[in-house]
């Protein structure tokens, strides 16, 4: 006899297991995680940890920190200017950061910047740019009118309307172009296409840029007017003994160039007329010059691969003094109010007195393990060591006062804008910090550069 199963009514439903209650924080976290995957609800950066307690002396305090989150486009360079820090990535993107706070003012990819992107040229004056709204067609420009013959083609149009921009610009030179943006906003103004390759970093003032160029069959320096996008070259100067890869230096009315042939030129900025009463109007070193030139009120500083650093009189090109290094000098000297800091691969960073000393200058001191000058204040010079630590050297004696423990920052800027002791450093992943030394009691903030 078969066992009969009870008949269930259609309205009967099996009992469900009791639901597991989820807490409100769990639900919020789940929602936020889903939004993060969708591109929203990104976690906010944690604010800086500050304390009201005085920081220990001879440490480094964080002034600001900014994370560009450029892991997929590694940070490559940092450049310090009067009001901004310019960060370059390997892909040719530029970030402009406020120098006092680290806030990102703008970011923009520079066309061709992934191949070559020279140091930014900041023009402090307001410049007027007159930009045509459109280009006139080539056929319209080439209408030929013969005497006694009426033109059969379309009437050449009037000059196109132009837009006037009065801006304080920053210029980003690439291999063959110069892209002009407005400072602080990053608004695109214009771009100039050159018929030669830009070989050196540029320097400029009042709308004019001075740089070294590589031409077919020769080398030259050039004065380029960034306000003229079509025919921007104002003048050129041939350097037949070698190309110019060192950034020039600019005085009030003169510009100074140095070539890989070992020659140093001084010419008027307006018309390239030589100004030094020397044979051929040039100063000759014993070997090639690759290091950027430096300048102050009365001296041009030239680091040469003949192992010498020359301090030349700006007006006549005569040697004021010279320093003998232990190896070929390929790094630009860093000039402060009273000292020239020169990286010498044979000995380290040498601190050389500008005003006093013998003709064959002896360094005041040498930091043997240092490779780069970073900043200075009234007490110390701050240097980068070979293992990427920041060290404080007494400016007068060279005694090492203190150093950082952390050394994962690999990209450093040289701060010559102001002798405030602020050091700017970054990681390839895009974290940039401004740190200042703690030299006086009672300083509050957050200690950095001490953790691994």
Q: What is the pLDDT of residue 132?
A: 78
* pLDDT of the residue at 156: 60
Mean pLDDT across 111-120? 96
Cβ contact 66:97 at 8 Å = yes
- The edge-to-edge listing of strands for the beta sheet with 365-367 is 334-335, 339-344, 348-353, 365-367
Checking if the pLDDT of 13 tops 50, the result is no
The pLDDT, as a whole number, for residue 135 is 47
Q: Which two tokens stand for residue 288?
A: 């090639």
**What pLDDT is recorded for position 71?**
82
CA distance 327 to 153: 69
CB distance 244 to 200 below 8 Å: yes
Cβ distance 293 to 246 under 8 Å? yes
Predicted confidence (pLDDT) per residue in 63-106, tens digit: 999 999 888 999 999 999 999 999 999 999 999 999 999 999 99
* Digit-coded pLDDT (tens) for 403-412: 998 888 999 9
CB-based contacts of 411, cutoff 8 Å, min separation 6: 75, 76, 77, 78, 425, 426, 427, 428
Strand, coil or helix: what is 98?
strand
Beta pairing class for 319-324 and 360-361: parallel
Q: What is the pLDDT of residues 133-156, one digit of tens each?
A: 754 444 444 444 445 555 555 666
Question: Distance between CA atoms of 94 and 80, rounded to whole angstroms?
Answer: 13
State the pTM of this model. 0.81
438 forms bridges with which residues in the sheet? 59
């Amino acid at each position: 006899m078969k066992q009969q199963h009870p008949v269930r009514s259609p309205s009967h439903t099996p009992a469900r297991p009791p639901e597991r209650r989820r807490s409100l924080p769990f639900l919020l976290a789940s929602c936020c995680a889903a939004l993060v995957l969708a591109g929203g609800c990104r976690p906010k950066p944690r604010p800086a940890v500050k304390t009201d307690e005085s920081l220990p002396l001879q440490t480094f305090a964080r002034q600001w920190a900014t994370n560009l989150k450029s892991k997929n486009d590694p940070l490559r360079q940092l450049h310090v200017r009067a009001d901004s820090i310019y960060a370059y990535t390997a892909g040719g993107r530029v970030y402009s950061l406020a120098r006092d706070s680290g806030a990102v003012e703008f970011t923009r990819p520079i066309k061709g910047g992934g191949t070559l992107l020279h140091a930014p040229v900041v023009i402090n004056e307001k410049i007027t740019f007159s930009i045509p709204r459109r280009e006139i067609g080539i056929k319209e420009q080439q209408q030929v009118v013969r005497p006694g013959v009426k033109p059969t083609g379309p009437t050449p149009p009037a000059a196109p309307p132009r837009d006037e921009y009065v801006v304080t610009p920053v210029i980003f030179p690439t291999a063959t172009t110069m892209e002009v943006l407005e400072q602080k906003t990053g608004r695109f103004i214009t771009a100039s296409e050159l018929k030669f390759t830009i070989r050196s970093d540029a320097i400029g003032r009042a709308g004019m840029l001075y740089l070294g160029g590589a031409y077919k069959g020769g080398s030259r320096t050039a004065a380029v007017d960034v306000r003229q996008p079509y025919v921007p070259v104002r003048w050129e100067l041939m350097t037949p003994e070698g190309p110019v890869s060192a950034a020039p230096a600019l005085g009030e009315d003169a510009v100074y160039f140095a070539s890989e042939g070992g020659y140093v030129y001084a010419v008027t900025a307006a018309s390239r007329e030589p100004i030094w009463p020397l044979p051929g109007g040039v100063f000759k070193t014993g070997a090639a010059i690759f290091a950027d030139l430096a300048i102050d009120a009365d001296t041009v500083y030239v680091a040469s691969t003949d192992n010498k650093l020359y301090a030349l009189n700006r007006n006549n090109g005569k040697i004021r003094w010279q320093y003998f290094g232990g190896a070929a000098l390929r790094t630009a000297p860093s000039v402060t109010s009273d000292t020239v800091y020169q990286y010498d691969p044979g000995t380290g960073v040498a601190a050389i007195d500008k005003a006093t000393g013998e003709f064959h200058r002896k360094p005041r001191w040498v930091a043997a393990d240092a490779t780069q000058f970073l900043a200075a204040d009234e007490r110390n010079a701050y240097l980068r060591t070979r293992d990427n630590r920041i060290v404080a050297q007494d400016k007068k004696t060279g005694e090492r006062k203190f150093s950082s423990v952390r050394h994962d920052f690999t990209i450093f800027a040289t701060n010559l804008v102001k002798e405030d002791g602020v050091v700017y450093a970054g990681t390839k992943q895009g974290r940039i910090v401004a740190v200042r030394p703690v030299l006086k009691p009672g300083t509050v903030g957050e200690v950095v550069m001490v953790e691994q």
